[in-house]
C-alpha cells in the first residue's frame, strides 16, 4: 500500500489537503504539483529539501516520495558546517528550495509505487555526541508507525491536524505532515506555534493539535488561547517530557488531559498514551501496535516492570530503523546481539506496561553515593515549587559520591536552600541537589529540548 494514500487513491475525494500559513492546496492540486517535482527528481540517489514551513516545501517532499527518491530534510537555520555534513553524508544529488517549486505545475503521474523497504527519508540526529548521524527511514516503517498512531489516537479523515512545528524532524514531518496525507485529515500548519495561531485554528476546524512542551507552556501562559482549545478533540505532547505543572494547567484551562508519547528518530513513535486510555502526568503510555519494549541494567540483565526499577529502554518492532548511514562503528553498539535497539534513554515500566522516561542515560541517569537517580523526577518536583519557572538537573563529578546532583534553576524569589529542602522533603533525601545554580535561561534545541551537555 502506498504511503500517501489520500493522494494516490483514485477513490479519495478532493478537498483541502493542507494549509500552511495563508496558502491552501487541494488534494488534486498538491498531487499535480508534486507530480511535477517527481518528474524532475526521478532516478536521483537522494534529494535534499530545505525544510522551511511553506506549502511549496511540502510539495517538494511529497514529489520526492512519489518518485521513490529519498528525501533529506535540511534545517533552514543550519550553519555551513552542519549543512555541508548533511549534504555530503547523505549523498544528495540535488537540493530543492521552496522557490524551486511551482504550485500550478502538473506532472505525468507515471511513477511506480516505491517498495516498502525503500528509503523514504534520511533524517539527521541532533548531533549532541558528535556530527549528526543519518537515519534512513523506510516507507514501510512510516506506514507502520502512522497506522499504529491512528489506532492509538482514533485518528481519522474527520480530524483536522494543527501544529506549527519544524518539518525536518519526526514530530513535525512524519507525524505532522505525512500523517495527515496518509490518513486523509486536512493539515493546518501555523508556520510558527504561537498560542494565538493555535487558538485561531480551532475556528478552521482544528481537532487534533500537536505541540512540544514549550508550546504548551506558552499556551497556558495565555489563558484565552488555552480555553479556546477546549473545542479540540485531542492535544498531543511530545519530543520532550511535559512538565507536570504544565499538564495540570492545560487541563485546568482547556479541559483536556493531553496525550503524551515517546519516540526517537531511529524508532519513530513506539510508546503512547491512548485516546481511550488513562492519561497520567509524567507517563508516556504503553507500546503502540507492533512495538515491544524492555529494560536492562548496566550488565544487560533484564529488569522487572514494577514502576520502580530504572534501566535502559530497549525497543523492537516494525518502525525501528536498521542502522545509521555510513556509520558501522555506531551500528555496532546501537543494537543488542538479539536485534533490539538501545535507545540510550532510561525509563521505568509499571505492571500495566506504562512507561515513565527518566531521560538520557548520558545526562539524566545520575549515579550518586551508590544510588541510581533519575533527573526527571527531581525536575518535576522542583517545577511545582513557587518561583521556579524552568529547571534542569544534571550529575557532576564528585570525589566522594561519584556524582553529585546539581540543579540549574530559572526563577524569581526562591533561594538555593529552598530548592534543596523542597526536594529533600518530597523525595528521598539522597535525591536532593547538592548545588543550585540560578541562570537566566536554559539552552534548548529547535524542538525545545534542554541541551544538558552545554550545562555540564
Is residue 3 packed enough to be buried (19+ CB in 10 Å), middle (13-18) or exposed (0-12)?
buried
Predicted local confidence at residue 425, as pLDDT: 87
Same domain, 249 and 394: no
Taken in order 73, 78, 82, 87, is the CA torsion positive or negative?
Answer: positive
Predicted local confidence at residue 152, as pLDDT: 98
CATH number at residue 416: 3.30.300.30
Q: Which of 10-14, 97-101, 296-300, 383-387 is least confident?
A: 10-14
Backbone angles phi, psi at 14, to 5 degrees: -80, -175
Predicted local confidence at residue 439, as pLDDT: 94
C-alpha–C-alpha distance, residues 218 and 453, integer Å: 25
Same domain, 316 and 346: yes
Q: Which of 166-170, 214-218, 240-244, 388-392 is least confident?
A: 240-244
Predicted local confidence at residue 446, as pLDDT: 66
- Report the SS3 class of residue 77: coil
Same domain, 310 and 451: no
C-alpha–C-alpha distance, residues 254 and 237, integer Å: 14
- The full length of the chain comes to 456
Beta-carbon neighbour count of residue 102 at 10 Å? 12
Q: Which of 3, 68, 25 is nearest to 187 (CA)?
A: 25
Question: Is it the case that residue 127 has pLDDT exceeding 70?
Answer: no
Predicted local confidence at residue 418, as pLDDT: 94
Predicted local confidence at residue 332, as pLDDT: 92
Same domain, 96 and 205: yes
Q: Which has more confidence, 354 or 366?
A: 354
C-alpha–C-alpha distance, residues 60 and 98, integer Å: 8
Average pLDDT of 59-83? 92
Question: Is it the case that residue 52 has pLDDT exceeding 90?
Answer: yes
Question: Which band of pLDDT confidence, cut at 50, 70 and 90, is reported for residue 168?
Answer: very high
Average pLDDT of 321-333? 94
Predicted local confidence at residue 447, as pLDDT: 63
Same domain, 350 and 402: no
What percent of the chain is predicted at pLDDT more than 90? 74
Taken in order 15, 20, 24, 28, is the CA torsion positive or negative?
Answer: negative
Same domain, 386 and 240: no
Q: Of 357, 387, 422, which residue is a domain's last?
A: 357
What percent of the chain is predicted at pLDDT more than 70? 97
Predicted local confidence at residue 43, as pLDDT: 95
Same domain, 371 and 352: no
Same domain, 342 and 393: no
Average pLDDT of 217-229? 96
Q: Of 326, 357, 388, which residue is a domain's last?
A: 357
Question: Which band of pLDDT confidence, cut at 50, 70 and 90, is reported for residue 327?
Answer: very high
Q: Of 309, 331, 357, which residue is a domain's last?
A: 357
Question: Is it the case that residue 51 has pLDDT exceeding 90?
Answer: yes
Q: Which of 286, 294, 240 is nearest to 264 (CA)?
A: 240
Same domain, 367 and 330: no
CATH number at residue 279: 3.40.50.12780
Question: Which band of pLDDT confidence, cut at 50, 70 and 90, is reported for residue 370?
Answer: low
Write out pLDDT tens, residues 102-116: 999 999 988 999 999
Question: Which band of pLDDT confidence, cut at 50, 70 and 90, is reported for residue 38?
Answer: very high
Is residue 24 packed enough to be buried (19+ CB in 10 Å), middle (13-18) or exposed (0-12)?
middle
Question: Is it the case that residue 367 has pLDDT exceeding 70?
Answer: yes
Same domain, 99 and 154: yes
Predicted local confidence at residue 244, as pLDDT: 85
Same domain, 51 and 85: yes
Predicted local confidence at residue 77, as pLDDT: 82
Predicted local confidence at residue 161, as pLDDT: 98
Predicted local confidence at residue 403, as pLDDT: 85
Write out pLDDT tens, residues 131-158: 789 999 999 999 999 999 999 999 999 9
Question: Is it the case that residue 180 has pLDDT exceeding 80?
Answer: yes
E strand or H helix that includes residue 380: helix 375-383
Predicted local confidence at residue 129, as pLDDT: 52
Predicted local confidence at residue 241, as pLDDT: 82
Predicted local confidence at residue 185, as pLDDT: 96
Same domain, 308 and 410: no
Count up the domains in the chain and report the number: 2
Q: Which of 221-230, 299-308, 373-382 is least confident?
A: 373-382
Q: Which structural domain, as residue segments, surrounds residue 128?
A: 5-357
Amino acid at each position: 500500500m502506498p504511503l500517501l494514500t489520500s493522494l494516490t487513491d483514485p477513490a479519495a475525494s478532493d478537498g483541502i489537503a493542507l494549509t500552511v500559513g495563508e496558502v491552501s492546496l487541494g488534494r488534486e492540486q498538491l498531487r499535480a504539483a508534486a507530480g511535477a517535482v517527481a518528474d524532475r527528481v526521478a532516478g536521483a540517489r537522494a534529494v535534499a529539501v530545505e525544510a522551511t514551513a511553506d506549502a511549496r516545501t511540502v510539495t517538494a517532499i511529497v514529489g520526492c516520495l512519489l518518485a521513490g527518491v529519498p528525501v533529506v530534510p535540511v534545517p533552514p537555520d543550519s550553519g555551513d558546517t552542519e549543512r555541508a555534513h548533511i549534504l555530503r553524508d547523505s549523498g544528495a544529488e540535488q537540493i530543492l528550495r521552496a522557490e524551486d517549486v511551482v504550485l500550478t505545475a502538473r506532472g505525468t503521474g507515471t511513477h511506480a509505487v516505491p517498495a516498502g523497504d525503500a528509503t523514504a527519508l534520511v533524517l539527521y540526529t541532533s548531533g549532541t555526541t558528535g556530527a549528526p548521524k543519518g537515519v534512513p527511514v523506510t516507507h514501510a516503517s512510516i506506514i507502520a508507525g502512522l497506522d499504529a498512531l491512528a489506532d492509538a489516537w482514533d485518528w481519522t479523515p474527520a480530524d483536522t491536524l494543527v501544529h506549527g512545528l519544524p518539518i525536518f524532524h519526526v514530530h513535525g514531518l512524519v507525524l505532522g505532515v505525512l500523517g495527515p496525507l496518509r490518513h486523509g485529515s486536512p493539515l493546518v500548519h501555523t508556520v510558527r506555534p504561537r498560542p494565538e495561531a493555535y487558538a485561531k485554528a480551532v475556528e478552521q476546524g482544528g481537532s487534533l493539535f500537536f505541540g512540544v512542551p514549550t508550546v504548551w507552556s506558552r499556551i497556558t501562559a495565555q489563558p484565552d488561547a488555552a480555553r479556546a482549545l477546549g473545542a479540540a478533540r485531542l492535544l498531543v505532547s511530545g519530543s520532550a517530557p511535559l512538565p507536570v505543572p504544565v499538564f495540570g494547567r492545560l487541563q485546568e484551562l482547556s479541559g483536556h488531559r493531553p496525550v503524551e508519547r515517546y519516540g526517537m528518530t531511529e524508532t519513530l513513535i513506539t510508546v503512547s498514551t491512548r485516546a481511550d486510555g488513562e492519561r497520567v502526568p509524567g507517563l508516556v503510555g504503553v507500546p503502540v501496535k507492533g512495538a515491544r519494549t524492555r529494560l536492562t541494567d548496566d550488565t544487560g540483565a533484564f529488569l522487572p516492570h514494577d514502576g520502580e526499577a530504572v534501566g535502559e529502554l530497549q525497543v523492537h518492532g516494525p518502525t525501528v530503523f536498521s542502522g545509521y548511514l555510513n556509520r558501522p562503528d555506531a551500528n555496532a553498539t546501537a543494537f543488542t546481539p538479539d536485534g533490539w535497539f538501545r535507545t540510550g534513554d532510561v525509563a521505568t515500566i509499571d505492571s500495566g506496561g506504562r512507561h515513565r522516561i527518566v531521560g538520557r542515560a548520558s545526562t539524566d541517569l545520575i549515579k550518586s553515593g551508590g544510588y541510581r537517580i533519575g533527573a526527571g523526577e527531581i525536575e518535576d518536583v522542583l517545577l511545582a515549587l513557587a518561583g521556579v519557572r524552568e529547571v534542569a538537573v544534571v550529575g557532576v563529578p564528585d570525589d566522594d559520591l561519584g556524582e553529585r546532583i546539581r540543579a540549574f534553576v530559572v526563577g524569581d524569589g526562591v533561594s538555593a536552600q529552598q530548592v534543596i529542602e523542597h526536594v529533600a522533603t518530597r523525595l528521598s533525601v539522597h535525591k536532593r541537589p547538592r548545588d543550585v545554580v540560578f541562570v537566566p535561561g536554559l539552552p534548548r534545541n529547535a524542538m525545545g529540548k534542554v541541551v544538558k551537555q552545554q550545562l555540564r
